[in-house]
Amino acid sequence: MKDLYLSREEERIYDGELGWAYEVSMKILVKLGDLYGAKRLIPIESAHISGVSYKTIGDAPIEFLEALLEANGRVRVKTTMNPSGIDCEDPIFKYLPKEITEKQKKIIDIYEGLGVERSLTCTPYYIKAAQSGSHLSWAESSAVIYANSILKAWTNREGGPSALASALIGKTPDYGLHQPENRRISAIIKVEADLLSESDYGLLGIYLGKVLGDKIPLIRGRILGEELFLKQMGAAMATSGMVPMFYFDDSEAMSQRTDEVISVDNRDIRRADEEISSFFEKPDLIFIGCPHCSLEEIKCVSNLLRGKKIRKDIRLWICTSRFIRNKAAEYVRIIESSGGRVISDTCAVVTWLRELGIETLMTNSAKTAYYVPLMSNVKAALSPMKKCIEIALQK
Amino acid sequence: MDKILRGRPIVPGKASGIALVSMKPLSFLGGIDPKTGVVVERNHDLFGKTIKDSILCFPHGHGSTVGSFVLYSLAKNGLAPKAIVNVLADPVVVVGAVIANIPMIDKIDVSQIKMGDLVEVDCYSGTVRILGR
């Protein structure tokens, strides 16, 4: 029943000679490969696993993951994991019910037992950038679009289970974005809007995700290729749509042709803002760090906060990976002495906001503004980082 | 006369049982309670029905990829369907059926199958035989 070619060694794994954990992982890859017409498996440089936060996944994966662990499953390539529902070291998360924090720790421990690095971040590329041209098996849509578009690595939009199966086997079926013909531009976007901040780029992303579905756009016109802008735009595009990658450099379009041209003007951006932003008097939380902050972003925030104190009635969270947090000790000190918190291992999208007393949130991330009303029943407003920090400092 | 539908086998196996049929996509995460096997997604036409031991026929899955793990838990708890029949397989349901070892077939026009039909699914040859009620 399989059309996909397997080497003798792969065949043996498929037949269970290395045990159930590898057998079931191989079967997942072969079935997915068959479904999408792959002819073979190809080696991957790294894998990135989603499905870590107990808030978003619940108890569902625990039994399967435990079974993999009992069957001595272990990843064969560098594998990182997405944020969880808690910062394992920050005391504010101790206010959450013990049952849920214990369950969360258990899930992290099982993944770690399988050999997945305790990275707990959606930006594994800040820990180690994927090589240009390398094949990956990454879940987490914002990391996928970043890897394909900015790092020029090659990955499909994996789900948690398929990324994990690839991690155990060290390979992925060769289909979709692993093949050059599927990485062609399928729409040209003419940006006629004035994009003034990272939040505006996020709004462009929200708008484009809706009109593009899973198409691959070349974005030209009034855009800047700054990393933060592209990161925010990509994350948003992958949230409101299924866009797996984008091009932003005209030179890449030379050899490719497409007839579909979509113009975006200021009205489209404003409409996207109206769709995702709510109005409220004061945010309970100001949140920067979706996707998790780079060292550069933490530095920007600390410069804005240096020597100042934030309002007592507003909380400020700066979320980043523990890896970056450890590198940013001086900036962290500045932010925390102003009354903000630098939080790792989690973020406002995948933690229990209501249980932590948060009903309104302001953020510079369009992805967060899109998700938190749906996932946590929390109202959101979008503003650039500078404005967010100004509001946190207002007397 | 028995009616035979031909499709594409996905996970090998054979099963016969009573068809539980929906024309709506099904999300396993949040849509089905892994502890009871009951469909809990409101506004779904299978709301309140148990999928245990059924021949579960629906167009395709939707929603989170974590849904695959729900199928595994259902099987562990003895609450899985005997077979899955889809119009078009999607990765969430395929991975779920693989890890839970539930016979699965797709490219079947599920509108031909009526709720309560006795059906025989052969996921070696790729056929669904409707034996009537």
The per-residue DSSP string of A167-216 comes to HHHTEEES-GGGSGGGGS--EEEEE-S---SHHHHHHHHHHHHHHHTT--
Mean pLDDT of B24-52: 91
Contact between residue A135 and residue A153 where contact means Cβ atoms under 8 Å apart: yes
A139 Cβ under 8 Å from any chain B Cβ: yes
Q: Name the β-bridge partners of A361.
A: A285, A380
Whether residue A28 and residue B72 make contact (CB cut-off 8 A), yes or no, is no
The tens digit of pLDDT for each residue in A284-319 reads 999 999 999 999 999 999 999 999 999 999 999 999
pLDDT for the residue numbered B113? 96
Q: Name the β-bridge partners of B129.
A: B4, B120
The tens digit of pLDDT for each residue in A28-58 reads 999 999 999 999 999 999 999 999 999 988 8
Is pLDDT of A251 > 80? no
Return residues 87-106 of B near A (CB < 8 Å). 89, 91-92, 94-95, 98-99
Distance (Å, rounded) from C-alpha A237 to C-alpha A244?
9
pLDDT for the residue numbered A254? 64
Q: For testing the chain A interface, which of B98, B101, B122, B127 should be mutated: the one with the most A CBs within 10 Å? A: B98
Least CB–CB distance from A27: residue in B67, B89, B98: B98
Could you tell me how many residues make up chain A? Answer: 395
Distance (Å, rounded) from C-alpha A168 to C-alpha A10?
12
DSSP classification of residue A264 = E
**Quick check: bond before A244 cis, omega within 30?**
no
Contact between residue B97 and residue B104 where contact means Cβ atoms under 8 Å apart: yes
Mean pLDDT of A268-283: 94
Contact between residue A79 and residue A115 where contact means Cβ atoms under 8 Å apart: yes
Q: Name the β-bridge partners of A261.
A: A188
CA-closest candidate to residue A240, choices A207, A265, A268: A207
Confidence at A388, pLDDT banded by 50, 70, 90: very high
Mean pLDDT of B10-36: 93
The tens digit of pLDDT for each residue in A204-214 reads 999 999 999 88
Give the angle A34-A36-A41 at the CA atoms, nearest 5°: 60
Cα-to-chain-centroid distance, residue A372: 15
From A77-81, A304-308, A372-376, the region with the lowest mean pLDDT: A372-376
B125 Cβ under 8 Å from any chain A Cβ: no
Helices (H) and strands (E) in chain A, counts: 15, 13
Least CB–CB distance from A160: residue in B10, B65, B94: B65
Tokens of A157: 């939009």
Is pLDDT of A256 > 80? no
Whether residue B73 and residue A60 make contact (CB cut-off 8 A), yes or no, is yes
Is pLDDT of A188 > 70? yes
CA nearest to A22 within chain B: B99
Mean pLDDT of A252-265: 81
Residues contacting A371, CB < 8 A, separation 6+ = A239, A349
Whether residue A161 and residue B99 make contact (CB cut-off 8 A), yes or no, is yes
Tokens of B17: 């049982």
Active site residue B64: yes
DSSP classification of residue A60 = T
A162 Cβ under 8 Å from any chain B Cβ: yes
pLDDT above 70 coverage of chain B, percent: 99
pLDDT for the residue numbered B1? 67
Cα-to-chain-centroid distance, residue A180: 24
CA nearest to B71 within chain A: A60
Set out the domains of chain A in order of their start, with CATH numbers: 8-180 (3.30.499), 184-275 (no CATH), 285-393 (3.30.499.10)
The tens digit of pLDDT for each residue in B83-116 reads 999 999 998 999 999 999 999 999 999 999 999 9
Tokens of B20: 């539980």
Distance (Å, rounded) from C-alpha A192 to C-alpha A175?
35
Residue B28 to residues A237, B38, B74, B80, Cα–Cα distance (Å): 25, 11, 10, 12
pLDDT for the residue numbered B63? 77
A214 Cβ under 8 Å from any chain B Cβ: no
* Residue pointed to by tokens 């590329």: A125
Is pLDDT of A180 > 60? yes
The tens digit of pLDDT for each residue in A120-142 reads 999 999 999 999 999 999 999 99
Phi/psi at A222 (nearest 5 deg)?
-80, 70
Domain boundaries, given as residue ranges, for chain B: 3-132
Tokens of B87: 């119009």
CA-closest candidate to residue A128, choices A147, A107, A109: A147
Neighbours of B79 (CB within 10 A): 20
pLDDT for the residue numbered A93? 95
> Distance from first CA to last CA of chain A, Å, rounded?
68
Least CB–CB distance from A1: residue in B12, B73, B91: B12
Enumerate the residues of chain A whose CB falls inside 8 A of the CB of residue B84. none
Least CB–CB distance from B91: residue in A35, A56, A58: A35
A1 Cβ under 8 Å from any chain B Cβ: yes
Contact between residue A234 and residue A147 where contact means Cβ atoms under 8 Å apart: no
CA-closest candidate to residue A290, choices A370, A216, A194, A357: A370
Question: Which H/E stretch holds residue A98?
Answer: helix A98-113
* Residue pointed to by tokens 């167009």: B59
Mean pLDDT of A157-181: 96
Catalytic one among B16, B22, B64, B111?
A: B64
- Tell me the HSE value of A239 on the side-chain side, using a 13 A CA sphere: 27
Is pLDDT of A1 > 60? no
Task: Report chain A's mean pLDDT, rounded to a whole number.
Answer: 95
Instruction: Provide the number of CB pairs (under 8 Å) joining chain A to chain B.
Output: 75
pLDDT for the residue numbered A78? 98
Show the beta-strand stretches assigned E in A54-158.
Answer: 78-81, 136-138
ipTM given for this complex: 0.87
Confidence at B12, pLDDT banded by 50, 70, 90: very high
Whether residue A63 and residue B69 make contact (CB cut-off 8 A), yes or no, is yes
Tokens of B69: 């793990």
pLDDT for the residue numbered B98? 95
pLDDT for the residue numbered A213? 87
Whether residue A161 and residue B69 make contact (CB cut-off 8 A), yes or no, is yes
Whether residue A162 and residue B69 make contact (CB cut-off 8 A), yes or no, is no
Helices (H) and strands (E) in chain B, counts: 2, 8
The CATH topology of domain B3-132 is Glucose Oxidase; domain 1 (3.50.30)
Mean pLDDT of A321-331: 98
